[in-house]
C-alpha cells in the first residue's frame, strides 16, 4: 500500500461513482450518508465535495485514514448495503470503488465482511402470525 487514503479523496470517489449514471437513488443517498458519517467529515464537507464533483472538479485531501478506520468504513458501508440482502448494481459499483480507494484487494474485502455474513441470521417468524398459521394449515 502507498500512502494512506484521505477522507475527502475517498468521499469524492464515492460521490463520483453514485453520480456516474446521472441518477441518485435513495439507496445511494443512504450509502453516501453512511460513508460520510464514518469518514467523520467536517460540517459542510459532504455538500462541498458533492457540488465540486457536479462541477467536474477533483477533490483531494482530508485526514489520513488508519487501517482500522478503513476497515470500519468498509464494514459499515457493507452493512448498509446488505441490510435487506438486496444489493443493487449501483450499490455494488459504489462498494467496488470504495474497496479500491480504501486500498483493499477483493480477497481482503471478502475477509473483512466474512464475520458480518456469519452473524446475519434469517428473521424468526412469530408462530402466532396469520402467515405462520396458514403455512401450518396448508403445509407451505
- Residue-wise pLDDT for 100-109, tens only, equals 999 999 999 8
Q: Where are the domains of the chain?
A: 7-120
Rounded Cα distance between 14 and 113, Å, is: 19
pLDDT band at residue 122, thresholds of 50, 70 and 90? very low
Task: Identify the CA nearest to 12 among candidates 62, 57, 59, 56.
Answer: 59
52 neighbors 12 (Cβ within 8 angstroms)? yes
pLDDT at position 124 is: 46
Amino acid at each position: 500500500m502507498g500512502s494512506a487514503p484521505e477522507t475527502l479523496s475517498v468521499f469524492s470517489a464515492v460521490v463520483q461513482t453514485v453520480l456516474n449514471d446521472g441518477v441518485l437513488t435513495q439507496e445511494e443517498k443512504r450509502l453516501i450518508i453512511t460513508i460520510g458519517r464514518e469518514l467523520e467529515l467536517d460540517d459542510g464537507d459532504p455538500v462541498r465535495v458533492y457540488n465540486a464533483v457536479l462541477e467536474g472538479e477533483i477533490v483531494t485531501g482530508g485526514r489520513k485514514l488508519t487501517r482500522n478506520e478503513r476497515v470500519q468504513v468498509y464494514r459499515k458501508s457493507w452493512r448498509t448495503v446488505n441490510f435487506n440482502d438486496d444489493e443493487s448494481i449501483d450499490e455494488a459499483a459504489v462498494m467496488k470503488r470504495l474497496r479500491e480507494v480504501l486500498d483493499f484487494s477483493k480477497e481482503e474485502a471478502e475477509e473483512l465482511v466474512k464475520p458480518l455474513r456469519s452473524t446475519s441470521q434469517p428473521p424468526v417468524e412469530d408462530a402466532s402470525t396469520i402467515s405462520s398459521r396458514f403455512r401450518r394449515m396448508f403445509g407451505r
